[in-house]
């Protein structure tokens, strides 16, 4: 096996160990699922939006974007600015949803919409729409 491949496996294993360590540590410290998944609502809106954006763009930034720049040329690099504009758009337009979640204890958008429209079918619809748009991504 080449040395590059060995180093790749070593760093991937270290990254997995790092992620598992922090995941287990956080799970043991959390008292409820809400504490674990949304940090007990102690994050500011800026930290949350930036973390959510980083999570969304992580695979795209390291895998898809460089490949498209290689294939289509450097003119495609303008798409990098999406990583800057999306968090600011979230702060401007999702603040009300964030505040409602904090006030009424909503964890997911489906929970909030289900409470607002007084029905559980909207939760299923939210999941289906999320799957519909997530699978091609």
Q: In angstroms, what is the C-alpha Rg of the chain? A: 19
**C-beta separation of 77 from 8 below 8 A:** no
DSSP classification of residue 32: S
How confident is the model over 96-115, as pLDDT tens digits? 888 888 899 888 889 999 99
Q: How far apart, in whole angstroms, are the C-alpha atoms of residue 42 and residue 50? A: 15
Q: How far apart, in whole angstroms, are the C-alpha atoms of residue 19 and residue 13? A: 10
How confident is the model over 31-45, as pLDDT tens digits? 887 777 777 778 787
Which backbone phi and psi does 42 adopt, to 5 degrees? -95, -5
What is the pTM assigned to this prediction?
A: 0.58
């Amino acid at each position: 096996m080449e040395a590059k491949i060995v180093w790749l496996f070593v760093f991937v294993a270290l990254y997995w160990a790092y992620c598992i360590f922090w995941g287990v540590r956080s799970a043991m410290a959390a008292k409820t699922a809400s504490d674990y998944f949304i940090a007990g609502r102690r994050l500011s809106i800026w930290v949350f939006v930036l973390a959510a954006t980083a999570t969304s763009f992580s695979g795209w930034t390291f895998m898809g974007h460089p490949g498209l720049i290689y294939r289509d040329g450097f003119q495609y690099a303008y798409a990098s600015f999406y990583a800057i504009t999306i968090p600011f758009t979230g702060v401007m337009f999702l603040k009300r949803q964030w505040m409602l979640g904090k006030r009424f204890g909503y964890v997911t958008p489906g929970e909030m919409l289900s409470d607002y429209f007084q029905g559980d079918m909207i939760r299923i619809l939210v999941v289906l729409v999320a799957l519909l748009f997530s699978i091609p991504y």
